[in-house]
Structure formats: structure tokens, C-alpha cells
A and B are shown apart, each in its own frame.
Chain A
Amino acid sequence: MSNTHTDAGQDVHVADSSTKTIWRTFWILLGITVFEILIALAHMQFHWPKLPVNSLFIILTIVKAFFIVAEFMHLGHEIKNLIMTVLMPLLLFVWFIIAFLADGDSWKNMRKDLAPGTYKAPEKAQVVTEGEGHHE
């Protein structure tokens, strides 16, 4: 590994193997994001059922998070116990997420079921015509 201060060409050659991993991770992240965008646009068009589409988004987001943390932040190459001290609280966090979303869902159903007769249907929104007086 020469340390002569030649120009960029030499340095790029020296750095090549690990910059390859970096760029590979970039392409993976970009690919996943583009895929998510395409799914979102297609979903607008074809009105697929919400649950599988949203589940796909969540899974892809977690995959992206994994790559950012493991490769860009280098956690994947650290000592296993360090990885654990970061990962374990986050797994408990997943429990937190599921619990509160379930809570919100149950809340919504309770409002409907436990106060019969008092449920007031939300009012219809006034249809706003496009571009009415709003500048740009």
C-alpha cells in the first residue's frame, strides 16, 4: 500500500474494496426507496388492500434501517455485546409500537361501542374547489 501523495486516481484504487461496500449499500437503499415509491403510486392507481401494502412498507423501512445502522453506522462490525445494548432496547420498542397501535384501535372501537346513542357522525367537509383564490 503506497503512501505516495499521487493524485486521486491512486487513492481511489487503494480505497476501492471498502468504497465498493459503501456504494453497494447506497444502491440497495436507493433501490428499496424507488420500489416503495412505485408501490405507492401503483396503490394510488389500483387501490390494493391496505394491510398488505402497509405491511410491505413497514418491512422495507425496517430493511433500510438495518442497512443504515449496520453498514453506514458500522454497528454491524462492532463487538457483539455493543450491538446487543443497542438492539435489545429497540426490540422492546417494537413491543411499545404494537401495544400503542392496538391501544388506539381499541380506543376507537370503545368509543363506538360503549356510548351507544351518543355517537355523532362527523360532518361532511365542504368540497374545496381547486385553486380557489390561493396563490400558488
Chain B
Amino acid sequence: MDTAVTAKKKWWSGGHSPFNVSYGKLMMWYFLLSDAFTFGALLISYGTIRFMSTSWPNPNDVFRSFPGLGDRHVPMGFVSLMTFILIMSSVTMVLAVHAGHQRRQKDVVKWMVWTIIGGIAFLSCQAWEWHHLWSEHAWWGKNPFPNADGTVATTNFTNFFFTITGFHGLHVTSGVVLNIVILSNVLKGTYENRGHYEMVEKVGLYWHFVDLVWVFVFTCFYLL
């Protein structure tokens, strides 16, 4: 071994991964990059149409209900809860990955269970939001909400909202399913036998991506 001169590692000369990560993890990163482009394209088309419009519904006039509070106006309330739930589930996912690095199987199980619960809670909230809007006669092709300047709005608002939050919801759902599958493997001891919990890390990346997309969706639809 070179001790006199520290030889710079030849990353691209073969024998090891040039980025020092496993193939599976690297491919997950590039899949997430491609998925980021898909969501990005959807959000950009939303932005373009919105910039092209002379007026647009005010989100605080549309999203102001809270389950259980009837007709009370609570702008920003429910979506804040949903954002908090998803951030929390991201934290529990990181803790699961962290426990995996230290081979603490029971803690991996615990934190993954919390992550799955968080995911299901978020989906339930989104389902309530969708149902509530639908009961107010909003849907693809139907928009009862007027523009901020008082004029009749097009259906662009609801079309984009349901499409993009729906696509995101699909990702959350698939994330929950993947997490359940990986959780059952953790319980079976598959990763103990394998010697590492990298699979938990990989689904963790997917889960964080889902959270990341929500951060942008939250900003575009509810803040801007």
C-alpha cells in the first residue's frame, strides 16, 4: 500500500463504483432526477398558464376549510397540518435509515412504522381535501371559484390542482406501499442476513423525494 505518497484514488479506472455508491442507490438518484423533471414540467406548465392569465383564484379563498370545523374559515390551516405530517414522516424515515446504519433492527421497524402511519395520515388528509372540494363542485373540468379580480375563472385552476396533487398523491401511495414491503423484509430479518440496510436507505430516498415535491407543490398552489 502506498504510504509514502498518498496516491489519489483512480475513481474511473474500474474495480469500484466511481461515485462510491452502490448501483441501486445511484439508479434511485437518477430515477428521482427524472421524476423531478416530470413534476417540474407539470409545475412549470402550471406557472406558465398562470402567468399567461389575467387573473386567477385566490388560494386563501379556496383552501380554507378544516375537517370538523364546518363552515369556519381557516386559511392555510389544513395544508399546514398536511405539510407538518409529511415533514415528520420524513424525519422518522431518516431515523429509520440511521438505525439501519447501526444495525438496530427493532428501531428500524419502529421508525418505519411511524413513517408509514405518517404517509397514510397525509393521504387521508388529501382525500378529505379532494372530497371537500368536490362537494363544492370543483373537479377536473369544473371550477366554481371566481378569479381574485372577480371575473369568471377558467377550469385551469382546478385542472392543474387535481392533476398535480393527484400525481403527487400517487407517489405518496406507491411510497407507502414500498415502505410496507420493505418493512416486512426488515421484520423477516432479510437485511440482517444481508449485512446491511441499504434497501431502507433507497426507499428512504424515494420518500424524501415525495416530501420534497410536496414542499414545491405547497409553495406553488398555496403560497404564491
Are A and B interaction partners? yes
Q: Could you tell me the distance between the alpha carbons of A23 and B17 in the complex, rounded to whole angstroms?
A: 31
Rounded to whole angstroms, the CA-CA distance of A74 and B18 in the bound complex is 17
Q: Is A49 an interface residue (CB 8 A)?
A: no
Q: CA–CA, A105 to B150, complex, Å?
A: 21
CA distance A85 to B19 in the complex (A): 10
Cross-interface CB contact of A81 among B19, B144, B201, cutoff 8 Å = B19
Per-position 1/0 for B36-73, Cβ under 8 A of A: 11001000110111111111000010000000001100
How near does chain A come to B53, taking the closest CB pair, in angstroms?
A: 7
The reply to whether B75 and A122 contact each other, CB–CB distance below 8 Å, is: no
A113 within 8 A of B: no
* Chain A residue, CB-CB nearest to B220: A61
Nearest neighbor of B201 in chain A, beta-carbon distance: A74
Which of B40, B60, B132, B151 touches A96 (beta carbons < 8 Å)? B40
Interfacial chain A residues near B182, Cβ < 8 Å: none
A-side contacts of B150, CB under 8 Å: 124-125
Helix, strand, loop or mixed for chain B's interface?
Answer: helix
Q: Is the CB of B37 within 8 A of A104?
A: no
B104 touches A104 (CB 8 A): no
Q: How far is the CB of B16 from chain A (nearest CB, A)?
A: 11
Contact among B36, B44, B48, B87 with A29 in the assembled complex (CB-CB below 8 Å): B87
CB contacts between A and B, total, < 8 Å: 160
B6 to chain A, nearest CB (A): 17
Task: Of the listed stretches B94-102, B172-180, B183-191, name the one at the interface; the rest are far from the partner chain.
Answer: B94-102
What is the interface residue range for chain B against chain A?
Answer: 35 or more
Hey, which bits of chain B sit against chain A, CB under 8 A?
11, 18-21, 26, 29-30, 33, 36-37, 40, 44-45, 47-55, 60, 70-71, 75-76, 80, 83-84, 87-88, 90-91, 93-95, 98-99, 102, 104, 107, 132, 135-137, 144, 146-147, 150-153, 201, 204-205, 208-209, 211-212, 215-216, 219, 222-224
Could you pull out 25 A-B pairs where Cβ atoms are within 8 angstroms?
A: A11-B104, A19-B95, A22-B98, A33-B87, A37-B76, A44-B75, A54-B224, A57-B224, A61-B216, A65-B212, A68-B215, A69-B212, A78-B19, A81-B11, A81-B19, A90-B33, A96-B44, A97-B40, A101-B48, A105-B51, A108-B51, A122-B55, A125-B146, A125-B151, A130-B71
